[in-house]
Amino acid sequence: MRVYLMFREGAKRSDFGINPFTGDLKSDLELEHILNSMAKGDKTILNICEYEMFNPLLSQEAIEYRHGILADALRNPSAVRRLYAIVSEADSIRRAYMSYTSLAEGFLNAVELLKAYLKLLRDLREVADRKLQDFKSRGFKDMLEMLKRELTDEYFEEVSNSLREINNVDNILVSARLGSHLQSVDYTLRRKEKGFWLRWCTATSFTANVERNPKEIDDIFNRRERAVSEAANILTWAARHLESFFNMLRNELGFYVGCLNLADEVQKIGMPICIPALLPVKSDDRSWCGLYDMSLALMTGAPVVGNELDVKGKHLYIITGANQGGKSTFLRSIGQAQLMAQCGMPVGADSFTVPIRHGVFTHFKRDEDSYMKSGRLDEELERMSKIIKNIKSGSMLLMNESFNSTNEREGSEICRQITQALIDSGVEVMSVTHMYIYATAFLEDSGVQYLCAERREDTERTFKIIPGEPMETAFGEDLYQKIFVQAGKSLEDWGNDNKEPVLKDA
């Protein structure tokens, strides 16, 4: 039995492979909070969601197929959770029957294991019977119809009868024949059919006398082991076949249960989620409403500000503006949503329409090397060199204050040349920067979208990112005024005061 909840039958995963910068993505985009909210301590869910998030789908058809199944899961959360709970029992059941000391004991363990698995199959069939009409997606409908088709009442009756018949290994019927050296060969386990007891009572018999010869009982046990060995192997193979099915179904259902867990968490906070729309990779259009940093919302447990955008034909986004205005948060929200959209997850927005990207890469500023093996500029250049070796046309690079570790003129020139080379190669670049020279270098390019962090006249930050060309100041003095203020004193008073400044909550 096959399950097609992640891919359409016959479809194969893209050969793009695992992003070599998974660690940077997880750290820079703060994805740990999202993954933990999806898993809720379940390692199966954590592993499958993490794997899928860093293996983005490149086919619009494959993404839409998965989004259709996600929509079904969001409409039927209790049924999906019930299916996952059923198949999750298989692992604990298997562990209970793992250890045995003889073939006969292994034979009995396999029988009991199959009985337990049979109950799980009955539970799956029951869900399929009750809930099939509630699901609309091709993936879920095919799976539930397969359960109803394969797990018929006749199937359960036949398997139950067979397991009941071979349940007692101490009362089994075995046949054998004499070999060329008068040894017993071709041991075969026999079914006790009608008339068996009459033939048994009239057959030649032999009774072992354990007191006279203790080795006789050992000989009988050895013969029993030889008789059940083939049957034990067949039963074990059958159990492993079902175990493989349960594991496959658990992994694929686990992805959607993770999505349900995430949806529950963000909706408790009062933030929206949506199923995104994906455009072809060649598109340069982007449109979203209410896009927010999902990780920040989960970490704070409170609503956060969302942003709007609707642009066409842009390949470079330069984001400038006031310090502490939400620029980095905005950049993270884009990266999170792009990855989640392309693996079939819901995203944190009211609506989200973007092109498919061959990969998402990040180049965020890092702290100073504590071991002083290299300077920050060397480290930034080294990381960028690795990115350029792996990035391809149709990818997206998120840059957060890159190359601000040197003076503005030198950093701007480095950043400008790298950015120009990337967009010329078909890479979409989104760059948060405080370097005015770099930011203004693309003013004449119609494919550039300038955005800035909104700052009101009273210096208040709204944390909204709006269209706006770069300014020469990032309004750092606003923060100084807000933080280093002593009651009753202005900024100018500090020059005449010998006291240490009092830190006030920002």
More confident residue, 16 or 466: 466
pLDDT band at residue 419, thresholds of 50, 70 and 90?
very high
Q: How many domains does the chain have?
A: 3
The beta-strand segments (E) located in 305-375 are 307-311, 316-321, 351-355, 360-364
From CA 478, how far away is CA 494, in angstroms rounded?
Answer: 16
Percent of the residues in the chain that have a pLDDT greater than 70, as a whole number: 85
Q: What is the pLDDT of residue 501?
A: 44
Mean pLDDT of the chain: 86
Q: What is the pLDDT of residue 15?
A: 43
Q: Is residue 502 part of a domain?
A: no
pLDDT at residue 425 above 50?
A: yes
Q: What is the pLDDT of residue 505?
A: 40
Q: What is the pLDDT of residue 120?
A: 96
Q: Using the 8-state DSSP alphabet, how is residue 48 labeled?
A: H
411 with 336, same domain: the answer is yes
Q: Could you give the residue ranges of the DSSP H alpha helices within 270-306?
A: 294-300
Q: What is the pLDDT of residue 503?
A: 40
Q: What is the pLDDT of residue 409?
A: 92
Q: What is the pLDDT of residue 39?
A: 97
Q: What is the pLDDT of residue 473?
A: 56
Residue range 243-253: average pLDDT?
95
The beta-strand segments (E) located in 130-237 are 173-178, 184-190
pLDDT band at residue 2, thresholds of 50, 70 and 90?
confident
From CA 333, how far away is CA 355, in angstroms rounded?
Answer: 16
H/E stretch holding 278: strand 277-279
Collapsed DSSP state (helix, strand, coil) of residue 291 = strand
CB-count burial class (<10 Å; 0-12, 13-18, 19+) for 286: buried
pLDDT at residue 289 above 90?
A: yes
Q: Is residue 2 part of a domain?
A: no
338 with 464, same domain: the answer is yes
Q: Using the 8-state DSSP alphabet, how is residue 448 labeled?
A: E
Range of the domain at 208: 173-220
89 with 122, same domain: the answer is yes
pLDDT at residue 334 above 70?
A: yes
Residue range 260-281: average pLDDT?
96
Q: What is the pLDDT of residue 215?
A: 73
Q: Is residue 488 part of a domain?
A: no
Residues 6+ apart with CB under 8 A from 506: 324, 479, 482, 483
More confident residue, 474 or 279: 279
152 with 187, same domain: the answer is no
pLDDT band at residue 101, thresholds of 50, 70 and 90?
low
More confident residue, 190 or 326: 326
Six token digits for residue 139: 């993936």
425 with 327, same domain: the answer is yes
Q: What is the pLDDT of residue 170?
A: 60
pLDDT at residue 487 above 50?
A: no
317 with 440, same domain: the answer is yes
Could you give the maximum distance between any two Cα atoms of the chain, in Å?
119
Residue range 461-482: average pLDDT?
70
Query: What does the pLDDT look like over 33-88, one tens digit per residue?
Result: 999 999 999 999 999 999 999 988 999 999 999 999 999 999 999 999 999 999 99
58 with 146, same domain: the answer is yes
From CA 356, how far away is CA 354, in angstroms rounded?
Answer: 7
Q: Which of 106-115, 378-387, 479-488 has the highest mean pLDDT?
A: 378-387
Beta-carbon neighbour count of residue 470 at 10 Å? 23
Q: What is the pLDDT of residue 12?
A: 66
Closest to 259 in 3D by CA, of 448, 429, 40: 40
Q: What is the pLDDT of residue 497?
A: 54
26 with 90, same domain: the answer is yes
pLDDT band at residue 373, thresholds of 50, 70 and 90?
low
Closest to 21 in 3D by CA, of 506, 345, 269, 362: 362
126 with 81, same domain: the answer is yes
Q: What is the number of helices (H) and of strands (E) in the chain? A: 16, 12
Closest to 347 in 3D by CA, of 276, 258, 295: 276
Six token digits for residue 368: 């100073």
Q: Is residue 26 part of a domain?
A: yes
Six token digits for residue 263: 């949806």
Six token digits for residue 71: 């929509």
From CA 119, how far away is CA 113, in angstroms rounded?
Answer: 10
Residue range 340-368: average pLDDT?
93
Closest to 354 in 3D by CA, of 338, 377, 336, 378: 338
More confident residue, 428 or 365: 428
Q: What is the pLDDT of residue 463?
A: 86
Residue range 365-394: average pLDDT?
83
Per mean pLDDT, which range of 337-351, 372-386, 402-416 is the poorest?
Answer: 372-386
Percent of the residues in the chain that have a pLDDT greater than 90, as a whole number: 62
More confident residue, 201 or 52: 52
Query: What does the pLDDT look like over 318-328, one tens digit per residue?
Result: 999 888 889 99
pLDDT at residue 355 above 50?
A: yes
Say which CATH number the domain at 424 has. 3.40.50.300
Q: Is residue 7 part of a domain?
A: no
Residue range 483-505: average pLDDT?
49
Q: Is residue 496 part of a domain?
A: no
Q: What is the pLDDT of residue 205?
A: 67
The order of strands in the sheet holding 286-291 is: 277-279, 351-355, 286-291, 307-311
327 with 460, same domain: the answer is yes
Q: Is residue 500 part of a domain?
A: no
Residue range 424-431: average pLDDT?
97
Residue range 142-152: average pLDDT?
95
pLDDT at residue 506 above 50?
A: no
Q: Using the 8-state DSSP alphabet, how is residue 347 labeled?
A: B
468 with 434, same domain: the answer is yes
In this prediction the pTM is: 0.85
pLDDT band at residue 162, thresholds of 50, 70 and 90?
confident
pLDDT at residue 444 above 60?
A: yes
63 with 179, same domain: the answer is no
CB-count burial class (<10 Å; 0-12, 13-18, 19+) for 202: exposed
Q: Is residue 10 part of a domain?
A: no
